[in-house]
Amino acid sequence: MGNVYEKLQRALASVRERTDFVPKVALVLGSGLGDYGEEIKKEAVIDYHEIEGFPVSTVPGHKGRYIFGYVGKVPVVCMQGRVHYYEGYSMQDVVMPIRLMRLMGAEILFLTNAAGGIKQGMHAGDFMMITGQIASMVPSPLIGPNVDELGLRFPDMSEVYDKKLQAIIRKASVEHEIPIWEGTYMQLTGPNFESPQEVAMCRTLGADAVGMSTACEAIAAKHAGMRICGISCISNLACGISPEPLTHEEVQQTADLVAPRLKELITASISAM
Ligand code: HPA
């Protein structure tokens, strides 16, 4: 397993050889948002390959780099591409980039993803602000020796998604007339999409949207003392709700189509943080 904190320190040293930028907000770009970098007044870019020990994604459509710069006046580090548990990485590796952004100085984590919609009334192309999550279908990223330098062995999860950040996103959605659902995100491992029976299970358990990322990242960030918010792009209705078979291409196409509105909402929200 190796010492997680030492590995993080080596990765941080690789970053600090390139930039001394201190972000306030760490933004993770999900499907369709890959080109959000265009919205950022760039100060530095670091390819994941250049960072010692960094997990690099294999999914088509996911680039791999950190972008440092400003959204409005707010200093941000942005992850263009993330790694997923289904790619075969350990959960510790999956959340390593999040922890690294914490060590760079980020206080706020802004998560985005593509997800299958479960809540009644949702349509492909809608957005959902994440107000809660169910992560217990995937291993916790905190399994293993506790990284005491980051946080407690038994961290509280009573408010994973910060209420004040939710209020900021809500306000931005009203001001920009971009309607947004609110609900619970549930992470499954993937990479297969769910069966209709599994989607029925997710709904019974209280999920409004289902995906293959994000909740584990939120746990690692909460452990490390970050304030967290998140928005899902409902790229499709979950299996069994949608009459059509699901494809990754459909997920990407829908996410690409509505990305401009989501970018507007993200920019407005971050500018107010
Ligand atoms: N299920 C799981 N993950 C997803 C989906 C889905 O329907 N759409 C986008 N990511």
Q: Of 57, 113, 173, 213, which is the active-site residue? A: 213
pLDDT per residue as tens digits for the range 9-43: 999 999 999 999 999 999 999 988 888 988 899 99
Give the per-residue pLDDT at 108.
Answer: 98
pLDDT per residue as tens digits for the range 214-244: 999 999 999 999 999 999 999 999 999 878 8
Give the per-residue pLDDT at 267.
Answer: 97
Residue 56 has pLDDT above 80, yes or no: no
254 lines ligand 1 (CB under 6 A): no
Mean pLDDT score of the chain: 94
Contact 115, 210 (CB under 8 A): yes
Give the per-residue pLDDT at 60.
Answer: 61
232 labelled catalytic? no
114 labelled catalytic? yes
32 lines ligand 1 (CB under 6 A): no
Percentage, residues of the chain above pLDDT 70: 97
114 lines ligand 1 (CB under 6 A): yes
C-alpha 109/C-alpha 14 separation (Å) is 21
235 lines ligand 1 (CB under 6 A): yes
Distances (CA, A) of 72 to 35, 91, 270, 271: 17, 33, 8, 5
How far, in Å, is the centroid of ligand 1 from the Cα of 222?
Answer: 24
Residue 93 has pLDDT above 90, yes or no: yes
Lowest-confidence segment of 60-74, 128-142, 197-211 by average pLDDT: 60-74
Three-state helix/strand/coil letters over the chain = CCCHHHHHHHHHHHHHHHCCCCCCEEEEECCCCHHHHHHCEEEEEEEHHHCCCCCCCCCCCCCCEEEEEEECCEEEEEEECCCCHHHCCCHHHHHHHHHHHHHHCCCEEEEEEEEEECCCCCCCCEEEEEEEEECCCCCCCCCCCCCCCCCCCCCCCCCCECHHHHHHHHHHHHHCCCCCEEEEEEECCCCCCCCHHHHHHHHHHCCCEEECCCHHHHHHHHHCCCEEEEEEEEEEECECCECCCCCHHHHHHHHHHHHHHHHHHHHHHHHCC
pLDDT per residue as tens digits for the range 113-132: 999 999 999 999 999 999 99
268 labelled catalytic? no
pTM for this entry: 0.96
236 labelled catalytic? yes
Give 53 or 106, the one with higher predicted confidence.
Answer: 106
Give the per-residue pLDDT at 245.
Answer: 86
Give 60 or 53, the one with higher predicted confidence.
Answer: 53
Query: Closest residue (by CA) to atom 9 of ligand 1?
Result: 115
Say which residue the tokens 């972008």 belong to.
67
- How confident is the model over 260-268, as a mean pLDDT? 96
How far, in Å, is the centroid of ligand 1 from the Cα of 268?
Answer: 26
How far, in Å, is the centroid of ligand 1 from the Cα of 144?
Answer: 28
59 lines ligand 1 (CB under 6 A): no
- How confident is the model over 251-269, as a mean pLDDT? 93
Q: What is the token pair recorded at 100? A: 């690294």
223 labelled catalytic? no
Q: Which ligand 1 atom lies nearest to the CA of residue 212?
A: 3
- How confident is the model over 169-183, as a mean pLDDT? 98
Give 57's pLDDT tier (boundaries 50, 70, 90). Answer: low
Q: Which ligand 1 atom lies nearest to the CA of residue 211?
A: 3
Residue 66 has pLDDT above 60, yes or no: yes
Q: What is the token pair recorded at 73? A: 């006046």
Give 19 or 248, the one with higher predicted confidence.
Answer: 19
158 labelled catalytic? no
Q: What type of residue sits at position 73?
A: K
How far, in Å, is the centroid of ligand 1 from the Cα of 3?
Answer: 33
213 labelled catalytic? yes
Residue 1 has pLDDT above 60, yes or no: no
Give the per-residue pLDDT at 35.
Answer: 85
49 labelled catalytic? no
pLDDT per residue as tens digits for the range 192-209: 999 999 999 999 999 999
